[in-house]
Amino acid sequence: MLNVSGLKDGIVLDHIQAGMSTKIFNYLGLEKLDCQVAMIRNARSSKMGRKDIIKIEGGLDMVDLDVLGYLDHNITINIIKDEKIVEKRCLKLPKRLTNVLKCKNPRCITTDDKGLPHIFFLANEETQTYRCLYCEETASK
C-alpha cells in the first residue's frame, strides 16, 4: 500500500520507473511550484522491484497530464483528499504535444519561423512514435 502520509490534499505520481523522477520533475516544471513537492527515489515495489514516487500538494491542475503521458504512460496518478486515496487515474499516450518537444530537423519550417509552436502528433501508438506536425521528423525522447 502506498504511503501517503504527510500529504493532506494533493496528487501522488506512482510507479515511476526508478531513476526517472528527476527527468519528470524537470519536464513538468515542478521547480516553479510554491507548494510542497516530495521526490522518493528507489522505493520498493512488488510490481517493479524499485520505483520512484513524486508527491505534490494541490490539485490535478498542477501537472500537465499530456506531458506525463508522453514521458511514461505507466505512471499511476493517485488523487489524495484528507490523506486518503480517493481516485486512481491511468495515463494515456497523448494524441498531440504542443511545445513539449522541439523539432531537431534542420530542414523543418520551425527553424525559420521561431514563433511557430512545436507540435508533435502520435503517429504510431504501438511503437509510441511521435512526429513533428510540420516535417514528420521522429521525436527522440
Partner 1 sequence: MNNLRHLISPLDLSLKEIDKILSLAATIKENPKSYSKKCEGLKLATLFYEPSTRTRLSFETAMLNLGGSIIGFSDAANSSVSKGETVSDTMRIINCFADICAIRHNKEGAALVAASKATIPVINAGDGGHQHPTQTLTDLNTIRSLKGRLSGLKIGFCGDLKFGRTVHSLIHALVRYPDNEFVLISPDELRVPAYIRDDVLIHSGVKFTEVQRLEDSLSDLDILYMTRVQKERFFNEEEYIRLKDRYILDKEKMKLAGPEMLILHPLPRVNEIATEVDDDPRAVYFKQVEYGVYARMALILFLLGKEDTSC
Least gap, CB of 26 to Zn ion (angstroms): 23
Which of 20, 48, 65, 135 touches Zn ion (CB under 5 A)? 135
Which of 4, 53, 103, 139 touches Zn ion (CB under 5 A)? 103
| Nearest by Cα to 78 from 30, 11, 130 | 11
Query: Cα angle vertex 33, ends 32, 36, to 5°?
Result: 140
Grid coordinates representing 62 are 498542477
Decide whether 87 or 136 has the Cβ nearer to partner 1.
Answer: 136
Grid coordinates representing 8 are 493532506
Cα separation of the two ends of the chain: 31
Least gap, CB of 83 to partner 1 (angstroms): 47
Decide whether 46 or 127 has the Cβ nearer to partner 1.
Answer: 127
76 SS3 class: strand
Contact of residue 133 among Zn ion, partner 1, none (CB under 5-8 Å per partner type): partner 1
Positions touching Zn ion (CB under 5 A) are 103, 105, 108, 132, 134-135, 137
